[in-house]
Structure 1
Amino acid sequence: MTTASSAPGLLGRLLDRVERVGNALPDPITLFAMLAVAVVGVSWLASALGVSAVHPGTGETVTVVNLLSAEGFRRMMTEAVDNFTAFPPLGLVIVVIIGIGVTERSGLISAALRSLLQAVPDSFLTATLVFAGIMSNVAVDAGYVVVVPMGAVLFAAAGRHPLAGLAAAFAGVSAGFSANLLITSLDPLLSGLTQEGAQLIDQAYEVQPTANYWFMLASTFVLTALGAWVTTRFVEPRLGEWDPSDAAEDAGSMEVEEVTGRERQGLVAAGITTLVLVVLFAILVVPSGAPMRDPAAVAAGEPWYIQVRPFLDGIVTLLMLGFLLVGLAYGVVAGTIRSDRDVARMSSEAVAVLGSYIVLAFAAAQFVAWFGWSNLGLIVAIRGAELLQGIGFTGLPMIMAFVVVAAFINLFIGSASAKWAVMAPVFVPMLMLTGYSPEMVQAAYRVGDSTTNIITPLMPYFPVIIAFAQRWDRKSGLGTLISAMLPYSVVFLLGWLLMFAVWVLLGLPLGPGAPLEYAAAVGVGG
């Protein structure tokens, strides 16, 4: 029988094996290139075997596209550059790094972190980092390139292993994607798809973007606690002491020294600049006629989160400008920036560090694009949904099984909306007929969809996180990251499932006016 004291050892050996197997794989650039080639071969074989599935939303038969056909080969060759330039993380990473480079190399981040470390007890640092990662989802994907690298820097400054900080932040940003204290852009997107599925049963049924708000709000605190616990209980002990000699040349152990008088003046200037920027952003978005509001949505009386869509769409550019101006204010006052040449140099040096990532992005972009073109991911999703439907579970066990299948399918298709577009037309009507509300089905889906983001290389930002990890430990590879994130994925999934089950058993509403049950179920079922 395994004792409590021996369990961590068994888990540690398991994670060590995962890391060894993962790191035995080729370099991530080579790996993504090999995966792209494999997709081509599998598409040919699956096409020859006649693999297909019926799309539950349209009723059309989805077949595998043979990428080795003349048409497929032409598409791969002619659209390779477009795949690369349109790769979602690429532009976001480069644009935000332009601004972050000034804040980092001007000394602002170092001074701010040292000031923070003196104010925040070490026991609260991990929880604060996970919470910041969860909340960063308000800015869509910006948390991947802002909060995750900041987590590594924070831990290094505190004398802790930077990869543990990176892992904690990554868990908050990605595994906690469906938890937040605020409504995010994902909410109206998913609720629209849920409503379409619900109207297959009840044409008058409406699903609001706030359908899961109470559940999201409570999940924020639960996942923050779980993320902090996993970091201190499993991740940090396994990583052990960090050796600064393992880091790249532009990273290193940050000594927690007292903030100098000049640095304090710079921090005050940066703080004032931040407040001014907040006021300016508010002017751009709060008034009904503000430039960053959609005039058509305002005229139509759409909800505020629809009206401010231009602001959300422009958040990456605004973040870049914000980092740039705040870093500039600090550098001028602190004396680390003396001319425009310093600003240009700092931004250029920051972008130059991304050289290996840019090459990696090219290979990853081809793999992701070809996988989508082949329809292999869509067919896996449809077949997975059919498998769950055929299991024959009812009630809460059916919901729990649905969460697990959603988590499994997420390993193959990273887009939350793409998966839900396939699954909603099947599971929303089916579970409505058993008495469960569309809002509850959506909440169950979001639990499964989020928890496995951090362990699938198919997630578009996975190569970005590997690049960040290699800055602090050049030996880091795919296995290092997956083995570090696996405990978060398992604990988040189990903890979130338990929370969801208790929520359902207590009969708590999922959001304003969002019940757990579908009242018309008896009438429909006859």
Structure 2
Amino acid sequence: MAVLEREEKVGGILGAIERVGNRLPDPATLFLIAIIILILLSAILSAMGVSAVHPGTGQELAATNLLTGANISRFLIELPRIFADFPPLAIVLLCVMGVGVAEKTGLIAVSLGSLVRAMPKSLLTLTVVFAGVQSSLATDAGYVVLIPLAGLLFHSSGRHPIAGIAAGFAGVSGGFSSNLLVTSLDPLLSGISQAAARLIDPGYEVLATSNYYLMFALVPLFTIIGALVTDKLIEPRLMRTSPVQAGKMEPEADPTPEQRANERRGLRFAGLTLLGIAALFGAAVVPEGAMLRDANGTVEPFLRGIVAIIFISFLSIGLAYGIGARVIRSDRDVVRMMSQSMSEMGGYIVLAFCCAVFIALFAWSNLGAILAVNGAAFLQAAGFTGLPLLLAIITVSAFINVLIGSASAKWAILGPVMVPMLMLLGVTPEATQAAYRIGDSFTNPITPLLPYFPLILIMCKRYVPDFGIGSLIATMLPLAVWMGMGALLLFSGWYLLDLPLGPGSVIHMPVAP
């Protein structure tokens, strides 16, 4: 009875969060509301004479009234450039065009499916979680292909299918920020972080690989935790509380011999192309004096070109697979796939516009810099700095994530405040971004406002018809909690050992000579 009461309580609290969250406007509308509030606040604080002294330059930063004639004229004149110069926009769209070809040809889905099928049953859970984490290269492929496939594989192996769905869901959503490769999320977040960092240091640059080492380390951590929790806690509980009714599911039709032959040929072509690309860029990076090394011998040109490299790589292997699998028969097919991928980015482009306007006006108002200076002074006086502050950012981000699902939308609002404030406390933008990414990841599986949450619920109902939202939350909650605890411990160790977060990316701001 106590267990049931606890589950009902959890379901009730999360049900209330869902109802409140559903009443929130669209993220783009939230930005427009924030812009209106910012404009009014700038006028009020400017009239009050609010200001602060920049600790680095000694310059006085006064609140700027955005409603003056000069600023209104400036806004109207510079609006197109504000949008066009928004750092993440071109980067993300370029990545999407390349990844889109690999996704539309079926390469990513087939690769993930082959990875799961090739593993022995004893490693099935581990493989499903790992493939889910890696699917952040193309999120839709993970949610739409991997998760239902995991349910079928578990069912056909005599295991509880919802345990397979839970394992896949935990990997795809809980491990969303982590990956063995750089994904389109990396340049998106780093672009926002860079724009925020330049409120303090106009020349500061945040690379797309700024959190790569930490995100790489999270992959085996999330994989092991996800597999252990699923096997030891989730599946035994599901066997007791949600038995599967026999004969309710029919396996999907297997691909025809011709389709399998095409897929194998496509994978062979893609594999050879990937080896060729690796050899090509290896020759351009590894030897001394290689074209992608600078005069000092560092690989910074390679790192700065990582977005273009992602585009070229995914486009090339996608083309190779499509030709081998006979999905691509002419140049029109490639253009169509690129166009479809770009058309699916319409919502992001609208959100990027609102985000770009908010960040630009926030910079013009000087409120971000003033808040950062005063906030840093307060935190220094309170002694709340360093690791406790970063852990607090992780916790706050995790709770906010339950109500607002978009990673970029939250960071576009939190970044301009958090990044400059922590820079003045000696913490790099890369470290602040890393703390946010961890908090924004492990609560995804229990976020009712996640766009794919209803889809996952429908998948579960195919096996257990009375499986409701409370059941799904109760199933995913242990995974979210344990993944969160593991991530917090890893981040704490990373901070205490002062390890680099990525190539050339450190935790603490360098001390001026």
Please classify the TM superposition score into its range, dividing by the shorter chain length.
0.5 to 0.7
Contact 2:372 2:420 in 1 (8 A): no
Work out whether 1:366 is the aligned partner of 2:342: no
* CA distance in structure 2 between the partners assigned to 1:107 and 1:216 by the alignment: 26
1:124 paired residue among 123, 126, 140: 126
Question: Bigger shift: 35-44 or 2-11?
Answer: 2-11
Contact 2:102 2:315 in 1 (8 A): yes
Contact 1:166 1:469 in 2 (8 A): no
Deviation digits for residues 14-57 of structure 1 (CA, Å, limit 9, x no counterpart)? 33333322221223333322222222122222222333334333
- Secondary structure class of the residue paired with 2:275: helix
- Secondary structure class of the residue paired with 1:79: helix
Deviation digits for residues 273-315 of structure 1 (CA, Å, limit 9, x no counterpart)? 1111111111121112222222x222xxxxxxxx212112212
5 Å-filtered alignment, 1:101-500, equals 101-120=100-119, 121-125=123-127, 127-129=129-131, 132=134, 146-158=137-149, 168-169=171-172, 171-174=174-177, 221-222=220-221, 225=224, 257=255, 260-294=260-294, 296-298=295-297, 307-392=298-383, 399=386, 401-404=388-391, 406-407=393-394, 422-426=421-425, 448-453=435-440, 495-498=486-489
Contact 1:149 1:166 in 2 (8 A): no
Contact 2:174 2:441 in 1 (8 A): yes
Aligned amino acid, residue 357 of structure 2: Q
* CA distance in structure 1 between the partners assigned to 2:13 and 2:180 by the alignment: 29
Deviation digits for residues 194-251 of structure 1 (CA, Å, limit 9, x no counterpart)? xxxxxxxxxxxxxxxxxx99988866654555577899989xx9xx9xxxxxxxxxxx
Aligned amino acid, residue 78 of structure 1: I
| Corresponding residue of 1:198 | none
* CA distance in structure 1 between the partners assigned to 2:63 and 2:480 by the alignment: 31
Shift of the alpha carbon at 1:257? Answer: 4.9
* CA distance in structure 2 between the partners assigned to 1:267 and 1:179 by the alignment: 19
Contact 2:113 2:146 in 1 (8 A): no
- Secondary structure class of the residue paired with 1:260: helix
Question: Bigger shift: 217-226 or 59-68?
Answer: 217-226
Shift of the alpha carbon at 1:151? Answer: 3.1
Shift of the alpha carbon at 1:492? Answer: 6.4
| Corresponding residue of 1:302 | none
* CA distance in structure 2 between the partners assigned to 1:378 and 1:177 by the alignment: 33
* CA distance in structure 2 between the partners assigned to 1:447 and 1:323 by the alignment: 25
| Corresponding residue of 1:79 | 78
Aligned amino acid, residue 79 of structure 1: E
RMSD of aligned residue pairs (Cα, Å): 5.0
| Corresponding residue of 2:157 | none
Shift of the alpha carbon at 1:153? Answer: 3.9
Q: How many residues align?
A: 417
* CA distance in structure 2 between the partners assigned to 1:228 and 1:511 by the alignment: 27
Aligned amino acid, residue 28 of structure 1: P
Contact 1:44 1:67 in 2 (8 A): yes
| Structure 2 residues not aligned, in runs of 5+ | 152-161, 198-210, 243-250, 398-409, 444-448, 457-472, 501-513
TM-aligned CA distance change 1:76 to 1:492, over 3 Å: farther
Contact 2:229 2:478 in 1 (8 A): yes
* CA distance in structure 2 between the partners assigned to 1:371 and 1:486 by the alignment: 37
* CA distance in structure 2 between the partners assigned to 1:491 and 1:75 by the alignment: 50
* CA distance in structure 2 between the partners assigned to 1:314 and 1:497 by the alignment: 31
Question: Bigger shift: 119-128 or 154-163?
Answer: 154-163
- Secondary structure class of the residue paired with 1:36: helix
- Secondary structure class of the residue paired with 2:327: coil
* CA distance in structure 2 between the partners assigned to 1:221 and 1:255 by the alignment: 33
- Secondary structure class of the residue paired with 2:61: strand
| Corresponding residue of 1:70 | 69
Q: TM-score, normalised by structure 2?
A: 0.64
* CA distance in structure 1 between the partners assigned to 2:340 and 2:489 by the alignment: 47
Deviation digits for residues 408-452 of structure 1 (CA, Å, limit 9, x no counterpart)? 898777797995664355458xxxxxxxxxxxx999867744434
Shift of the alpha carbon at 1:366? Answer: 1.2
TM-aligned CA distance change 1:351 to 1:75, over 3 Å: same
Shift of the alpha carbon at 1:83? Answer: 1.9
- Secondary structure class of the residue paired with 1:35: helix
Contact 1:447 1:493 in 2 (8 A): no
Identical amino acids, percent of aligned pairs = 36
Shift of the alpha carbon at 1:70? Answer: 2.0
Shift of the alpha carbon at 1:319? Answer: 1.5
Contact 2:51 2:63 in 1 (8 A): yes
Contact 1:54 1:61 in 2 (8 A): yes
| Structure 1 residues not aligned, in runs of 5+ | 134-142, 194-211, 241-252, 299-306, 429-440, 457-464, 474-482, 513-526
- Secondary structure class of the residue paired with 1:56: coil
| Corresponding residue of 1:477 | none
Aligned amino acid, residue 402 of structure 1: L
* CA distance in structure 1 between the partners assigned to 2:54 and 2:477 by the alignment: 32
TM-aligned CA distance change 1:501 to 1:318, over 3 Å: closer
Shift of the alpha carbon at 1:125? Answer: 4.2
- Secondary structure class of the residue paired with 1:66: coil
TM-aligned CA distance change 1:221 to 1:286, over 3 Å: same
Question: Bigger shift: 337-346 or 106-115?
Answer: 106-115
* CA distance in structure 1 between the partners assigned to 2:73 and 2:230 by the alignment: 47
Aligned amino acid, residue 123 of structure 1: T
* CA distance in structure 2 between the partners assigned to 1:5 and 1:291 by the alignment: 64
- Secondary structure class of the residue paired with 1:158: helix
